[in-house]
Amino acid sequence: MQEPTIQNLIDKSITKKTAKKSKELGYVLFEGQSQLNGDNIVAILVMNSTNEKTGNMAQLFIMNKDISPLEASRTKKDSAVCGDCKLRQSLGGSCYVSIFQSVQSVWNTYKRGRYSNLEIKDYGVLANRYIRFGSYGDPGALPIEILVKLKAVSINNTSYTHQWKKFPEMKSFSMASVDNKKEAVEAVKMGFRYFRVALPTDTLMKNEILCPNTTVGKSCLECGLCNGNKIKAKNIVIVIHGALKGRFKDETIKEVVETEIV
């Protein structure tokens, strides 16, 4: 029989570590004012996930507190958790999140009182987990102490923010979400690594790779590259996806953009 490679062994150990599901459904990490517009928001960390792309990472949902995610999107009050992101469905954008499914379901479960509160001093219970910041909502809506502590206790995290111009301090644990090459260049100048959504007709710059989920089928849990600027890794590009991908536009695609970024 062929000997397993080192990578086989690493993958196997990751699978083992995370196959054990948390008994806890999830935790309320924050109830209070959005850092983006002051409206009431709530952050729930759902402990288990069947999302094949991410693997079984704990997933953070950041939602309006007093109105449901569907209502918030319909009335454009989702700016409390999405800020000025132009991909918001409420603005006719291409955001891939199925608000009416998982997000609405987490909010309903929260309203039924099924999640217990977890104080920042007790985050040690999350120590053996990989955490995805922002299954829905921008982590920039939360007080930064929560994010820094989550980063500190987790095995690894992924994080994406469209609010990178407002919150440069997020660069140590979060990717800047960018929607074209011009924004990508700007994000690098500010010290961020970035995650760029692109049309299939676009090209890669020299400092970019395609998301390994799309090229070799790795889950985010196995890959872990979207965790900010503390690692020496290239920026990530993913082809626009999801049911609303046809809405995505990149007006800058024909412009020549500086490609020699170090």
- Which secondary-structure segment (H or E) carries 43? strand 40-46
Q: State in angstroms the smallest separation of the CB of 77 from ligand SF4.
A: 28
Judged by CB under 6 A, the number of residues near ligand SF4 is 11
Residue span binding ligand SF4 (CB under 6 A) among the ranges 120-128, 140-148, 217-225, 245-253: 217-225
Shortest CB 58 distance to ligand SF4, Å: 14
**Residue 26 or residue 224: which is nearer to ligand SF4 going by CB?**
224
Among 212, 234, 239, 247, the residue binding ligand SF4 under the rule CB under 6 A is 212
User: Judged by CB, which is closer to ligand SF4: 14, or 225?
Assistant: 225
Cβ proximity to ligand SF4: between 97 and 225 the closer is 225
Count of C-beta atoms within a 10 Å radius of residue 117 = 10
Which two structure tokens, joined as six digits, stand for 200? 């299939």
Contact 167, 173 (CB under 8 A): no
Gap between the Cα atoms of 83 and 98, Å rounded: 18
Should residue 158 be labelled a site residue for ligand SF4 when binding is judged by CB under 6 A? Answer: yes
Applying CB under 6 A, does 242 fall inside the site for ligand SF4? Answer: no
Closest to 39 (Cα-Cα) out of 71, 76, 79: 79
Using the rule CB under 6 A, is 168 a contact of ligand SF4? no
Q: Is residue 220 at the binding interface for ligand SF4, with CB under 6 A as the rule?
A: yes
**Interacting positions 221-240 with ligand SF4 (CB under 6 A):** 223-226, 236
Helices of type H across the chain: 6-19, 69-74, 79-82, 104-111, 144-153, 181-189, 212-216, 220-223
Strands, sheet with 235-239, edge to edge from the N-terminal-most edge strand? 116-117, 26-33, 40-46, 58-64, 130-136, 156-161, 175-178, 194-198, 235-239, 208-210
CB 145 within 8 A of CB 119: no
Which range binds ligand SF4 by CB under 6 A, 23-31, 64-72, 75-83, 212-220?
212-220
| Residue 197 in the binding site for ligand SF4 (CB under 6 A) | no
> Which token pair is 246?
């046809």
Q: Closer to ligand SF4 at the Cβ: 96 or 98? A: 96
Interface mask toward ligand SF4 for 48-87; x: CB under 6 A: ----------------------------------------
Positions that interact with ligand SF4 (CB under 6 A): 158, 211-213, 218, 220, 223-226, 236
